[in-house]
Amino acid sequence: MTLQKVLFREALNQAMCEEMERDANVFLMGEEVGEYDGPYKVSQGMLARFGPKRVVDTPISENAFCGLGIGAAMTGLRPIVEFMSLNFSLVAFDQIVSNAAKTLYMSGGQFPVPMVMRGPGGAAAQVAAQHSNCVESYFAQVPGLKVVMPSTPYDAKGLLKTAIRDDNPVIFIENELLYGVSQEIPAEEYLIPLGQAHVRVEGSDVTLIAYSRMAHLLESGVLPELRKEGIRAELVDPRTIKPLDLEGLARSVRKTHRAVIVEEGHRFCGVGAEIADRLYSACFDDLDAPLVRVTQQENPLPYSKPLETASLPQVADVVQAVKQVLYRL
């Protein structure tokens, strides 16, 4: 196996280019994806490589170009619809929920909608309330949609390739602050199945469940702090919110008998609430302490840096939660 060191954004670019080379029905559309090489340079070089019929710059109208992508998917193409921010997917919410998610069912199986809707989501660095929504829980609640949230370049490439080949609409959420993260990944082609969690760090004392940027926060910030106190935590990254690898998560909880679920989104009706509910059903007799959730505070995310920091999960919050489930407070 040959390894190459790539950035998160480059891994996404590779995934799209490989799939567009493999399948002439795959194309990319969105705001500034062509002439500008993408607002985050994820599509850099793709216009020159594939031309304007397969890398399509769109007007600033998410509702319109998302609907165009749905129609294209219904007629046999495989669009990748890039939102400059998944916050702006809310403008196309009716298209995604009423059409992309439900057309296969409402057509009696006649019209699959094989499309990927991707872009950055969640909090970035002081982009304020209207650009900081964690939308994964919105879309995961809708039957017919799959929701993917990679945390590493390796996962980003393998999961995006799988999502492009999937015959269902997939919401593929990247975190803006991860685009510059680098990692060695195989130069050879590989795929990662949807619905397969990954144990990023082995441990025995407590299971930490986190995805996207929160998985980085835990691995780089929380785990070193816990090791100083002799706590060996296991970090599990679900990678896909829907389908959810319940058995993979439960296997870790049965091993450690304790769990802390960390998410960047809000507590009420959050992804962590769903994970906790399922783990209680699957692992109740294995638990030595109640599950604990760490989430964003229940307010729109402020622009102010100190208030933004206070609103989002931090290392100290997770460390305290771990001590709570270990009865060390």
Region of 221 please: left (phi>0), alpha (psi -120 to 50) or beta. Answer: alpha
What lies within 8 Å, CB to CB, of 141 at 6+ separation is 269
- Please identify which of the residues 10, 19, 82, 131 carries the catalytic annotation: 131
114, 81 contact by CB (below 8 A): no
Q: Which one from 10, 19, 31, 62 is the annotated catalytic residue?
A: 62
CA distance linking residue 9 with residue 174, whole number of Å: 9
Q: Are the CB atoms for 148 and 163 separated by under 8 Å?
A: yes
Contacts of 266 (CB under 8 A, 6+ apart): 134, 137, 295, 296, 297, 298
For residues 204 and 256, what is the distance between their CA atoms, to the nearest angstrom?
5
Annotated catalytic, 131? yes
Task: Decide: 14 and 161 in contact? Cβ < 8 Å.
Answer: no
For residue 309, give the amino acid letter: T
Q: Take residue 47 and report the two structure tokens written for it.
A: 């216009």
Residue 178 per-residue DSSP state:
G
What is the C-alpha to C-alpha distance for residues 59 and 71, in angstroms, rounded to an integer?
Answer: 17
Positions marked catalytic: 62, 131
